[in-house]
């Protein structure tokens, strides 16, 4: 009996001990890896900065469009207003002529019921029936002309008013766009000012990546120049026994390559300065492919493809809707215009992985 009690006691103590161990394990604090936390913060900051730069570039593009539209609508409005002024003068002149004629002609009834017209220079002269008919026809024509002029003037005044309203609407949108542009610039400046340490880390990581992948990057550039692309992944139905991209893809990549070193400029669309989508639009246009202006529209325009089917000449995107775009050149590398203070360059996806891809060269 004593043995059984002791055995039971031991079992209870074992259970209590096991439960205690579980409790301790469950309550043991889990500490996050500081390096992982920092990397997460770095990646999030890169994403925010990239998005803000895109917002600013998009606002700059829209600002330029609106300035052009306002100028065009203003010219159209001034043209309509000029037409109204000319029509008004013509109407007033016709009214004056009709009024003068009405005053100059006085109709008097003779004793035998014959009507006479008294003209300024032909006072008291009896007009023949033919003369009366001619005058009547002329007056009817003038009256008809006057009515047509009044109708046209009403139409033209309406058109001028519509153009004025359109211009005022464009001007209001321009003011809002300009205000939003300044807000986004202020937000970006805030991010840059408040995250100096993370920005330093980003710069260090970028330099480290460039050094590590320098030889590989140069090798890819040589392959592009020579027209040979290794490790190019193509969908089975597109490959047809060949892993080489089309001649157009090579030409577009070589076109983009010559702009390496060109500074990033918000809203830039020329070799004096590009933003990310401006660079893509420019190099593709040089080879007969018209892309929309901004990255979101380019993402919608391109045929979406899985990242596993990427090939040189495809577009790669960040965000959905996209806030950045680059040109894939093979081996995980892409050409892009990064952000203010940097130049067009080749970057590897390991530094900032793209999230989707689209094809415009088939």
Q: Which residues contact 51 (CB under 8 A, 6 or more apart)?
A: 319, 323
Given pLDDT bands bounded at 50, 70 and 90, which one contains residue 232?
very low
Do both 178 and 303 map to the same domain? no
At 52-109, the pLDDT tens digits run 999 999 999 999 999 999 999 999 999 999 988 988 888 888 778 777 766 665 554 4
CATH code assigned at 109: 1.10.287
Q: What is the pLDDT of residue 209?
A: 82
Q: Which residue among 190, 206, 226 closes a domain?
A: 190
Total domains, the chain = 2
Which CATH number does the domain housing residue 291 bear?
3.90.1720.10
Do 87 and 162 belong together in one domain? yes
Q: Please indicate, yes or no, whether residues 222 and 184 belong to a single structural domain of this protein.
A: no
**Both 176 and 49 in a single domain?**
yes
Three-state DSSP class for residue 342: coil
Q: Are residues 248 and 344 in the same domain?
A: yes
* Cβ contacts of 77-80, under 8 Å, gap ≥ 24: 77/160, 77/163, 77/164, 77/166, 77/167, 80/156, 80/159, 80/160, 80/163
Q: Which residue has the tokens 């530094």?
A: 351
Question: Cα–Cα distance between 4 and 17 in angstroms, integer?
Answer: 20
Flag whether 4 is in a domain. no
Tens digit of each residue's pLDDT (9 = 90 or more) over 119-134? 444 444 444 445 555 5
Tell me the C-alpha distance between 327 and 319, whole Å: 15
In a domain, 244, yes or no: yes
pLDDT per residue over 291-324, tens digit each? 999 999 999 999 999 999 999 999 999 999 999 9
Domain hosting 306: range is: 214-359
């Amino acid at each position: 009996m004593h043995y059984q009690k002791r055995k039971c006691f031991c079992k209870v103590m074992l259970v209590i001990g096991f439960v205690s161990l579980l409790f301790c394990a469950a309550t043991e604090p889990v500490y996050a890896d500081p390096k992982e936390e920092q990397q997460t913060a770095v990646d999030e900051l890169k994403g925010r900065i990239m998005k803000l730069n895109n917002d600013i570039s998009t606002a700059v593009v829209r600002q330029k469009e609106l300035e052009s539209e306002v100028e065009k609508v203003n010219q159209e409005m001034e043209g309509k207003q000029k037409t109204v002024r000319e029509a008004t003068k013509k109407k007033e002149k016709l009214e004056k002529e009709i009024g003068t004629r009405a005053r100059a002609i006085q109709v008097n009834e003779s004793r035998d019921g014959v009507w006479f017209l008294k003209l300024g220079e032909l006072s008291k002269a009896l007009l023949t029936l033919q003369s009366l008919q001619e005058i009547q026809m002329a007056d009817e024509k003038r009256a008809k002309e006057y009515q047509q002029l009044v109708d046209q003037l009403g139409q033209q005044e309406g058109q001028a008013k519509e153009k004025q309203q359109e211009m005022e609407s464009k001007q209001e949108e321009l003011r809002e766009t300009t205000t939003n542009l300044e807000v986004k610039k202020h937000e970006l400046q805030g991010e840059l000012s408040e995250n100096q340490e993370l920005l330093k880390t980003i710069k260090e990581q970028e330099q480290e990546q460039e050094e590590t992948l320098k030889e590989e990057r140069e090798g890819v550039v040589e392959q592009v120049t020579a027209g040979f692309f290794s490790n190019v992944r193509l969908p089975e139905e597109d490959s047809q026994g060949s892993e080489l991209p089309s001649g157009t893809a090579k030409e577009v990549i070589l076109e983009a390559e010559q702009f390496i070193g060109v500074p990033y400029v918000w809203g830039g669309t020329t070799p004096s300065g590009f933003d990310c989508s401006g660079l893509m639009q420019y190099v593709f246009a040089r080879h007969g492919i018209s892309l929309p202006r901004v990255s979101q529209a380019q993402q919608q325009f391109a045929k979406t493809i899985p990242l596993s089917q990427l090939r040189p000449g495809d577009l790669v995107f960040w965000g959905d809707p996209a806030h950045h775009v680059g040109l894939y050149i093979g081996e995980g590398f892409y050409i892009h215009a990064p952000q203010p203070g940097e130049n067009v360059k080749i970057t590897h996806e390991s530094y900032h992985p793209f999230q989707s891809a689209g094809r415009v060269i088939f």
